[in-house]
Amino acid sequence: MIPPPPSNWPGLEGNSLACREKIKVLTENHQELAQVLRDTFEDAILMGVDEAAMRGILAGMIDGLESPKRASR
């Protein structure tokens, strides 16, 4: 089961984000991503992909994300 969105989104200096609009967008993004991950994983398993391999593929995608802060330098 994918965990729910965090109740407090951590900010850069250790404080939680306070802006309601930011929290709303992040929570919606979390929910949408969770659904896409579930659908992608289920489709792959039902089509015969090895479960452990698919988990590795999805984890690799997360590990491969580049920070937009690094890209803008």
Residues of the domain holding 50: 20-71
Residue 15 confidence (pLDDT) = 92
Q: Give domain status of residue 3, yes or no.
A: no
Q: What is the pLDDT of residues 9-24, one digit of tens each?
A: 999 888 999 999 999 9
Concatenated DSSP letters of 19-48: -HHHHHHHHHHHHHHHHHHHHHHHHHHHTT
3-class DSSP state for residue 10? Answer: strand
Q: Give domain status of residue 2, yes or no.
A: no
How far are the Cα atoms of 4, 37, 53, 66 from residue 62, in angstroms, in the given order?
Answer: 17, 11, 14, 9
Q: Give domain status of residue 41, yes or no.
A: yes
CB 23 within 8 A of CB 2: no
Q: How far is C-alpha 29 from the geometric centre of its chain's CA atoms?
A: 8
Q: What is the pTM of this model?
A: 0.84
Q: Give domain status of residue 55, yes or no.
A: yes
Q: Give domain status of residue 6, yes or no.
A: no
Per-residue model confidence as pLDDT tens for the chain (73 residues): 899 999 999 998 889 999 999 999 999 999 999 999 999 999 999 999 999 999 999 999 999 999 998 766 5
Q: Give domain status of residue 62, yes or no.
A: yes
How many structural domains compose the chain? Answer: 1
3-class DSSP state for residue 16? Answer: strand
Residue 73 confidence (pLDDT) = 56
Q: Give domain status of residue 59, yes or no.
A: yes
Q: Give domain status of residue 46, yes or no.
A: yes
